[in-house]
Amino acid sequence: MSEKKIRLNAMDEVKDFIDAAGKCNYDVDVSCNRTVIDGKSLMGVLSMDLTKELTVKYSEEDAHFSDVLDKYSVS
């Protein structure tokens, strides 16, 4: 399982992330502290504390999704 830390600062960034995650044929989990949500859920991602780093966990590689993660990566 791969893991990346990201930060989403604006609504456009959240939409971009959700669109990319939604095209993946595998699970994308987003966590902050002990809360884990489905990374394909707009309401789920918006319910997270977007002022903090989010951890994205995913099981497969996809070029487009990797590019989006790299765009918002903090590490």
pLDDT digits (tens, 9 = 90+) for 18-56: 999 999 999 999 999 999 999 999 999 999 999 999 999
CA gap 23, 27 in Å, rounded: 11
DSSP letter (8 states) at residue 30: E
Residue range 57-66: mean pLDDT, rounded:
94
Name the residue ranges covered by the structural domains of the chain.
2-72
10 pLDDT above the threshold of 70: yes
CA gap 59, 52 in Å, rounded: 23
Q: What is the pLDDT of residue 42?
A: 96
Neighbours of 21 (CB within 10 A): 25
DSSP string computed for 54-69 = EEEEESS--HHHHHHH
Q: Is domain 2-72 annotated with CATH 3.30.565.10? A: no
Task: Report pTM.
Answer: 0.92
